[in-house]
Amino acid sequence: MPSTAWTTPERPWLGLTRFSETEKDYFYGRDAEIAELRDRVLRAPLTVLYGVSGYGKSSLLGAGLIPALRAENLLPIPLPRFTFDDSNQPPIARAVEEILKALPAADSAVQSSSINYQPDSLWEFFHDRSLPWWQPNNPVSVRPVLIFDQFEDIFTQGEDKGGECTASACEFLIAIADLVENRPPAALRERMRKDRALVRAYDFQSRPVKLVIALREDFLARLERWRRVLPSLVESRVELRLLSGIQALRAVIEPSRKRLGKPPIVAEATGAAIVRFVAGVAADVPLEEIDNVPPLLSLICAQLNERRFSSPQSEVPERNDIPIEWVRASKSTEKAHAAATDAATEPPRTAAEEVLEDFYIDSFAEHPAAVRRFVEDKLVSEAGFRETVTLDTALTELRVAGMTDPRPSLDRLVDQRLLIIEERGGVARVEFTHDILAALALRSRESRKEKDALAAKNAAETARAEEERRRNEAERLREHAVSAGRRARRLALLASLIALGAIAALFYALYSRLETDRQRAVAVQLKEQALAEKANAEQQQAEAETQRQTAQAARKLAEQREAQARAAEESKNQLLLKSIPYRLCSVLASNDPQATEDFWAPKVAYYEYGTVSRALIIAQHRRDSRQYPFRNYTVTSTPTVSDVPGSDGWTIKFAMNYTLLDQQRRPATAELDVTIRVDRNYQVTQVSQEVVKARKK
């Protein structure tokens, strides 16, 4: 019994890995298909094997047909997948190279023929009389069978890419057609018309080679477009279908019987349970009635078998067999399942269900989230049945979801046996490989929607909490503003007191100055009188001297009082800067930008000099384009505060004058009455000023 790197008696299933010729002793369930395919190859020059992607065409060729052809003394030559963008090695040259490697003693035969052989076509290679290995009377004569697996590459990697790839793919397909139809290539016929000696160099009657083409069913229609060039396409075809229940049972049980001296890994009852589980039918359905076991069968067997081992590297299993309880729920498990359903909790799962669900989840791991969302939303009905969509629709929706090139992802899911793409009525359609996967997708979709709903709910609650926080913050700011307004009112009252004190100081300073002037005049009069009387009244000299000293003392006192008046004047100017009109206007108008624009006083209240633009000058100077720095300003009346009749607020009135000085130091003065209206929130609602008197100096 052969031992391979992939299969052993303890690990006899390959999962999703394709079978090759070395695993032929583990390949079961396809006896009828192998026989039919072998017979057609023996009868016809071309055999086409087609089927839905994932049904096992490559395994049927590698582990089924190739050993069968060797038993018929034929030489099967599996050719690699071709690319069409390498100008240094076109497909024909690559095919000839691979064929020479497979032919017995081919290299030495070519070398001994002393020719530099580079055929322009496959027909020339197989009909050249100088090449010995397939001539009937030659001891190294063989009958090769060229096997082209995944032949859809000639379209996906050739025609669809355009340019040189399309030309190379068409040239290769024509070369295959010439070989199958035993038709000398057009270029060779042209050369033979010019050189008749070439006719004797080729054997035109023999058919030394056969061909097998395997491709996906959804590309069969594209291949048929070449039937005018390749008429044999319609003569010999084999469609690969899903395993029947009986075939599937053999594929499960027979590989498990390879252990010498040990019982099978899978008992017949367990094998039947596995087949029914994968087919998605009830436990009492006869296997004879099952005709569509999906290609997940080998995957389930391989993964269940791995549970017998402690790790993937272990060679000795911990358990001798796969129990039926891993596949079919026992009575106790069924009761637990029913109890979980009644309690609306997650029911217990069998090992087979876990394997299938893990396979489903892992299939999407390498793809963008949009792929899984599309598959679950579009390929499963609300009732949990498979739905189909056209391939064009699937590609369009995935592009709309943000994928630049979604086709490789769909093809990968096809390779993973999750999806199939098959042509119906000339239209390629996409769907799940089996209803059992649709049930998994339905559960996943419902779980995802529950998570999305929970996430949306959490997001809404977060938004509401944020809104509440903002509302609380706004309330805090409002309370802070009210508190600030109260502080501003207290400051305004304090400013009023300061202004009243400043006004009193002003009047006192004026009175002191007048008194000083009066006393100075008296002193001067007395001095003049004393000087006049000095000559006439020497006897009064002593008294006059006393009066002089008194006058000097009075003068010093006057000078002191004058200094005090100047200090009072400076103090007055400082106090004016803090007087109630300016202070009150600055506090209140700052809450109303429009009022601040219209009323200039808050702009200059805290500066001894400032600039007033043309638009803010009194009416008599509005057309004057000059700029005026303030030189002096004086409040001329005590501010009065009164309630506004019929409204919730106050009216503040006072009078003032100011002097302006332009850039040429030309002054202008004005007197005006100012009226400010303030609401209960200390917001300025109206500012007006009336010019009482204006003039230029």
CA angle 502, 506, 512 (to 5 degrees): 140
Residue 674's closest CA among 587, 595, 567, 599? 599
Phi-psi domain of 212 (left: phi exceeds 0; alpha: psi -120 through 50; beta: other): beta
pLDDT in tens, 86-132: 777 889 988 998 898 888 755 444 444 434 467 889 999 988 888 76
Confidence of residue 417 (pLDDT cuts 50, 70, 90): confident
Calculate what percentage of the chain has a pLDDT beyond 90.
26
Q: Residues 266-316: pLDDT tens digits?
A: 999 999 999 998 888 899 999 999 988 888 888 889 889 989 998 888 888
User: Is 321 within 8 Å of 267 (Cβ atoms)?
Assistant: yes
Question: What are the residues whose beta carbons fall under 8 Å from the beta carbon of 275, sequence distance 6 or more?
Answer: 245, 248, 249, 252, 287, 290, 293, 297
> What average pLDDT score do residues 477-496 get?
82
| pLDDT at 208 exceeding the cut of 80 | yes
Does residue 1 register a pLDDT over 70? no
The Cα–Cα gap between 201 and 198 comes to 5
By the 8 A CB rule, do 79 and 98 touch? yes
Give kind and range of the element (H or E) at residue 163: helix 163-180
- 141-173 confidence digits (pLDDT tens): 678 999 999 898 899 888 888 888 899 999 999
| Segment 313-347, tens digit of pLDDT | 888 899 999 999 999 865 444 444 444 444 444 55
Q: What is the pLDDT of residue 136?
A: 59
Mean pLDDT of the chain: 78
pLDDT at 48: 96
DSSP classification of residue 387: -
**DSSP-based helix, strand, coil % in the chain, nearest 5:** 55, 15, 30
DSSP string, 516-577: HHHHHHHHHHHHHHHHHHHTT-GGGHHHHHHHHHHHHHHHHHHHHHHHHHHHHHHHHHHHHH
| pTM, full prediction | 0.59
Inform me whether the pLDDT recorded for 629 exceeds 70.
no
